[in-house]
Amino acid sequence: MTTINLKKISLFCLLSMLSVVLFLSTQVHASNELIKIRERGSIRVGTLYGQTSYYLGPSGPVGFEYELANAFAKFLGVKLEVVPSYHISELFPMLENGQVDILAGGFTITPERRNKFRFSPSYTLVSQKLVFKQGNKRPRKVSDLKGVLVVTSGSSHAETLNLMAKNNPDLTWAESAERDADELLQAVLDGEIDYTITDSNTLAINRRYYPDLSIGFTVANEMPNSWLLKKSDDDSLYALTIEFFGNWHKSGKLLALEDKYFGHVRKFNYVDTRLFIKAAKEVLPKYKALFQKYADDVDWRLLAAQSYQESLWDPKARSHTGVRGIMMLTLPTAKQMGIKSRLNAEQSIKGGAKYLNNLIKRIPDRIKQPDRLWFAIAAYNIGWGHIEDARIITQRHGGDPDKWIDVKKRLPLLRQKKYYKKTKYGYARGNEPVTYVSNIRRYYDTLVWLDEQHKDQQKKNELKSDLAEKSDE
């Protein structure tokens, strides 16, 4: 017969009750942060003003971090409340004081930050580059630095320099609380300082407009970027960042977003960029009105960028394959578009614009922008039939045939017999439309920037004029 120990049973019951109470209190506590966000109806995300994070474009807020944060807000079922700052040091106290729920600004995971904050899963990798102005003597290592080096205070670059100083006692630098990364790059161009350090993605974006920004050497190899969260025992929000990034990695959405902002700027050609900016200022004005007139549903600046890729804005251009004119039309395409003279700039632009718009309309409706546009531009270069072949290959390989980022990886396979012999349209130089689209995207971004700079200058001139008139009165 078994003897029942009432004391043990009582103790077991008491411990069980305490476990239940602790579990329930933990669950309530663990949900506090998320409950507050959902009761508020918005998630407050701190970020930095800048081309890689968040800025106001002609149609509203844009930026890699902005789009990512907006997607996370939708994932949570709340609105996105952006809390932007011009300086990184202003954001950290906001997170610690609960003024924001997350910091999303391309923050590198560093030992110092790891001690203070919690990190979401990483979503991209960046390296740190020592930047100097083209034409000055290139520093290839730390001991070559013979001038003023300035970085943003509170940045990962400052932390890197502090680590480097342990092995380089002669290394000196200044930290600025007033200037962000973009402003320090401008200071290098203006000759105010000799060097700065910036992230590889920030530099890639800026070199589209400022080709004289040159790389001395890599200060730190690729490191992961993550969102920052407040350190606490509350896992509710943190757990959902893991789920969100897991879904975005698996679905390919993260790769597609990265390609949208950075895919076309990874390669840099100093001479080509300088020549394009010069041509945009000196040659483009002759044809700008024509691009605007015939662009139809396409941004005229994109049409102009495509024309530069085709002919360098030369209305008399021709190639050995028989394409001619400022939009480099084939004779059959010109006839199909009703164009009599391919060497007439207006007719060529009209025909090229009509052909591009027709290609866009041919693409299945399920393919959304910007992929729809990239497919159409690639088809302008190589023909829609070859694009369809590449899409079929993409599907066979497990990729998404409706995503440019997946199809552009397979387009070069059209040069290989084992792939093109199984396609409808056969062999094609599939690597060419990949470069073609990438170049046009880069030229387009530069034209948008130059156009915005021109508009800003006009506003400043108008303001000066108004002030001068008032002073005369």
pLDDT at res. 50: 84
* SS3 track for the chain: CCCCCHHHHHHHHHHHHHHHHHHHHHHHHHHHHHHHHHHHCEEEEEEEEECCCEEEECCEEECHHHHHHHHHHHHHCCEEEEEEECCHHHHHHHHHCCCCCEEEEEEECCHHHHHHEEECCCCEEEEEEEEEEECECCCCCHHHCCCCEEEECCCHHHHHHHHHCCCCCCCCCEEECCCCHHHHHHHHHCCCCCEEEEEHHHHHHHCCCCCCEEEEEEEEEEEEEEEEEECCCCCHHHHHHHHHHHHHHHHCHHHHHHHHHHHCCCCCCHHHHHHHHHHHHHCHHHCHHHHHHHCCCCCHHHHHHHHHHHHCCCCCCECCCCCECCCCECHHHHHHCCCCCCCCHHHHHHHHHHHHHHHHHHCCCCCCCCHHHHHHHHHHHHCHHHHHHHHHHHHHCCCCCCCHHHHHHHHHHHHCHHHHCCCCCCCCCCHHHHHHHHHHHHHHHHHHHHHHHHHHHHHHHHHHHHHHHHHHC
pLDDT at res. 233: 84
- Domain positions in the chain are 271-442
Confidence of residue 58 (pLDDT cuts 50, 70, 90): low
Region 230-251: what's the mean pLDDT? Answer: 92
Confidence of residue 13 (pLDDT cuts 50, 70, 90): very low
Does residue 116 surpass a pLDDT of 70?
yes
Region 202-226: what's the mean pLDDT? Answer: 93
Kindly state the tokens that stand for 162. Answer: 């502090």
Of 19 and 45, which is predicted with more confidence? 45
Class of CATH domain 271-442: mainly alpha
Confidence of residue 241 (pLDDT cuts 50, 70, 90): very high
Residue 83 near residue 100, CB atoms below 8 Å: yes
Across the chain, mean pLDDT equals 89
Confidence of residue 472 (pLDDT cuts 50, 70, 90): low
| Lowest-confidence segment of 84-93, 120-129, 145-154 by average pLDDT | 84-93
| Lowest-confidence segment of 33-42, 53-62, 272-281, 356-365 by average pLDDT | 53-62
| Lowest-confidence segment of 8-22, 40-54, 298-312, 347-361 by average pLDDT | 8-22
d(CA 351, CA 333): 8
Region 382-392: what's the mean pLDDT? Answer: 95
- Side-chain-facing half-sphere of 448: CA atoms under 13 Å: 15
Does residue 92 surpass a pLDDT of 90?
yes
CB atoms within 10 A of CB 105: 24
pLDDT digits (tens, 9 = 90+) for 244-296: 999 999 998 999 899 888 888 878 888 899 999 999 999 999 999 999 999 99
Residue 70 near residue 60, CB atoms below 8 Å: no
pLDDT at res. 51: 82
Task: Decide if 473 is catalytic.
Answer: no
Region 180-196: what's the mean pLDDT? Answer: 94
Does residue 208 surpass a pLDDT of 80?
yes
Confidence of residue 6 (pLDDT cuts 50, 70, 90): very low
CB atoms within 10 A of CB 267: 11
Residue 127 near residue 181, CB atoms below 8 Å: no
pLDDT digits (tens, 9 = 90+) for 323-336: 999 999 999 999 99
Region 435-445: what's the mean pLDDT? Answer: 95
pLDDT at res. 3: 39
Region 402-424: what's the mean pLDDT? Answer: 94
Query: Radius of gyration (Cα) for the chain, nearest Å?
Result: 28
Kindly state the tokens that stand for 181. Answer: 């990364």
d(CA 208, CA 453): 14
Region 128-151: what's the mean pLDDT? Answer: 96
Q: From the candidates 33, 310, 469, 473, give the one annotated as an active-site residue.
A: 310
Region 361-372: what's the mean pLDDT? Answer: 93
